[in-house]
Every structure is written in structure tokens, then in C-alpha cells.
Amino acid sequence: MKVGEIYTIERIVMGGTGYRYAPVRLTGEVALLDSEILPIETGKYGAPEVQRFTFQFLRPGKAEIQLARFRSFDLDDAIYEEVLPFHVESAGDLDAVSCGGWSPFQKLTPEDQSIFEEAMKGLVGVSYTPERVSKQIVKGVNYRFFCYGRPATQGDHSFPAIVKIYAAPGAQAQLVGIQRVVL
């Protein structure tokens, strides 16, 4: 694996049983970018579903991913999978991100910060502080900002999230989605 590469893990779960998978170990600068559950057959309740996790490697070195299968109402019954070890290599100059590929997460430039602020203008209830950004060049630019969100409520509790923004040339940057990162 190289820095910036995306790695996807899929598991089959039986709908209606309460069983789900979750990452229980992420070491070595690997980030969970997305988690989703997709039906295999639509319209059938209790049918098998695919649970998909998407990760990205952020720094060179050793990385590990481990999943566990569990039911939220019976955590003592969790089954831990084997740890998946990875050796992550640096992405050299020849490995520059091509059109359509995602860049590794990196520090924000003033332009990135400006696009983030433009797209988030008017959002209320939660404030987001961007830490890193990954970009995909398409007809415009897709941005994934790794942020910490802070709800506008009492207490000091923040949470990690990925804020997705699209910026087309000559148009205002648009908020596409916000996904809470489960650690």
C-alpha cells in the first residue's frame, strides 16, 4: 500500500439479526472515510446486506485494521477478526494523483480554508473545524475535509467528521454532505 491509497473491506450481514461489524483497531495513521450498509436484494426484509468500510492510509509505516462482529444489545458476544497488517510506503513524485483520484489528506492551504468557509456559511447547530483535506479533480474539485465538529449545546464534546464539498469553476462551493467518523 502507498500513502493516499484507498482500501475497502466488505462483510455480509443478515438483516434483522442485529449483527453488525465495526472497526475496533486502527493503528498507524489509517483513517475510516466511509461506512455504509447496502441491500443485496431490494424489497426483502431480513435479507442479507453488505456492510462496506472505506479506509485511507495517511502516513508511511506500519498500519493495522481489525473488525469485530457484534450486536449492540449483547457486546459480550463480540467476535474479533484477525488483525490485518499493512506496510505503507511513501507516495513518490511519480505517484501524483491523477484526474479522478483522491489525494492523500494534507494540511489546508488558504484557498482550501476559503472554500470550506464559503460552503459552510449559514450552517447552524454544529461548528466544524477543518484539520486536513483530500482533493479529487473532476469537472471542478471534490473536497473531503477531516474536521472536528462541536454541537451548539452545553458541554465540551467534539466528534470527528468528514465534510464533503464540491467547487466548480466560477460557481459557489457547495456542501455535499457531512459524515460522522466512527472510531
Same domain, 29 and 72: yes
Mean per-residue pLDDT of the chain? 86
- pLDDT at position 95, please? 43
Domain shared by 39 and 67, yes or no: yes
Domain check: are 18 and 88 in the same one? Answer: yes
Specify the DSSP class assigned to residue 83.
P
Residues of the chain above pLDDT 90, percent: 41
Q: Which of 139, 102, 126 is nearest to 179 (CA)?
A: 126
Please state whether beta strands 74-80 and 48-57 pair in parallel, antiparallel, or not at all (unpaired).
unpaired
Domain that holds residue 140: 110-180
What is the rounded average pLDDT of the residues 11-34? 86
| Backbone conformation region of residue 155, classed left if phi is above 0, alpha if psi is from -120 to 50, else beta | left
The domain total for the chain is 2
- H or E stretch covering 118: helix 110-120
Q: What is the pLDDT of residue 183?
A: 60
Q: CA–CA distance from 113 to each of 4, 100, 130, 138 (Å)? A: 21, 22, 8, 20
* 99-118 average pLDDT score: 87
* Residue 94 pLDDT: 37
Q: With 80 as the cut, is the pLDDT of residue 43 above it?
A: no
Are 50 and 27 within one domain?
Answer: yes
Q: Looking at residues 152-158, what average pLDDT do you find? A: 78
47 lies in the same domain as 78: yes
